[in-house]
Amino acid sequence: MSTTIGFGYSVKNDDFFVELKSIAEKFDYNLLRGIECAELDVQSGLEVAKKNEGWEQLVFLQAPKGGDASLAFGIEKELIAFETTGVHPIFFNFIHEITSLATKKCKKFGIFFAGEWYKNDRVRFSYGTAESLIALLSMPGYWGIRYMIPETGHLQDSDEIPLIFDLNVVTPTKRQ
C-alpha cells in the first residue's frame, strides 16, 4: 500500500508551483506536478476529488527524494516518530510555510492523504487552519484512523479512507 500526500489548489497567479517547490526542497522533500505522477491506485479517486474540489492543479510530495514514485513514506515516518518518541516532525514546519504562501497566492488550497483511492471511495473531509491540521496529525493514527481490536485489545492503524483537508487560505475581508 502506498502513502500519497499532496496538494490540490487553484491559484491567483501562476508562479505558485515554483515557490511551493522551493519550500519543499528547503525541507528536503521533492514535489511532482500532475496527476500522471500519482500512483495508479490513487489516480481515479484524485480525478474525482479534483473535479469536486475545483482544484486547477495537483502536486505530490516525495519523501524521501528520488525515483519516479510520488510516495511520502518519509513523512509517515516523521509522524510515527512524533507519536513514539516526541520528535517534532519537520512536516509541521512545512505546513506552516506552505499555508503562509498559499494564503497569498491561492483561491483554494487542500492537502490530501491516501493509501489507495478509487473513484467510488468515500473520503473523509475536514477544513481549518494550519494549527487544526497539525492537531489532527498529532493524534494517534495521524491522518488515518486507529482502531482497537475487541478480541485482542491491540491497536491497528488504517489508511483505507483518504482524507482531504482544506486549509483556510482566503483572508476574510474587513467590513466597511
pLDDT digits (tens, 9 = 90+) for 131-166: 999 999 998 878 888 889 999 999 888 888 999 999
**pLDDT exceeds 90 at position 67:** no
Sign of CA dihedral 90, 94, 97, 103: negative
Prediction pTM value: 0.90
In this predicted structure, what is the pLDDT of residue 55? Answer: 96
108 lies in a domain? yes
15 lies in a domain? yes
Question: Domain count of the chain?
Answer: 1
Q: Which residues of 33-66 are buried (b: 16+ CB within 10 A; e: fewer)?
A: bebebbbeebbbbbeebbeebebebbbbbbbeee
pLDDT tens per residue, range 114-127: 989 999 999 999 99
172 lies in a domain? no
Q: Do you find a cis peptide bond into 64, omega within 30 degrees of 0?
A: yes
100 lies in a domain? yes
Of 111, 107, 145, 146, residue with least CA distance to 130: 111
Cell numbers for 100, please give them.
503562509
Which residue shows C-alpha cell 492543479? Answer: 57
pLDDT tens per residue, range 5-45: 999 999 977 779 999 999 999 999 999 999 999 999 999 99
In this predicted structure, what is the pLDDT of residue 71? Answer: 87
In this predicted structure, what is the pLDDT of residue 21? Answer: 95
Q: Are strands 57-62 and 124-128 parallel, antiparallel or unpaired?
A: unpaired
Backbone angles phi, psi at 83, to 5 degrees: -70, -40
176 lies in a domain? no
136 lies in a domain? yes
Average pLDDT over residues 44-71: 92
In this predicted structure, what is the pLDDT of residue 169? Answer: 82
In this predicted structure, what is the pLDDT of residue 175? Answer: 44
pLDDT tens per residue, range 77-114: 999 899 889 999 999 999 999 999 999 999 999 999 99
Name 62's Cβ contacts closer than 8 Å, sequence gap at least 6.
29, 30, 31, 32, 69, 70, 71, 72
CB 155, CB 145: distance < 8 Å: no
Which residue shows C-alpha cell 511532482? Answer: 32
18 lies in a domain? yes
User: How far is the C-alpha of 67 from the C-alpha of 69, rounded, in Å?
Assistant: 6
User: How far is the C-alpha of 30 from the C-alpha of 44, rounded, in Å?
Assistant: 23
**pLDDT exceeds 50 at position 174:** no
**pLDDT exceeds 80 at position 176:** no
List the domain range (segments joined by +) for residue 74.
Answer: 4-167
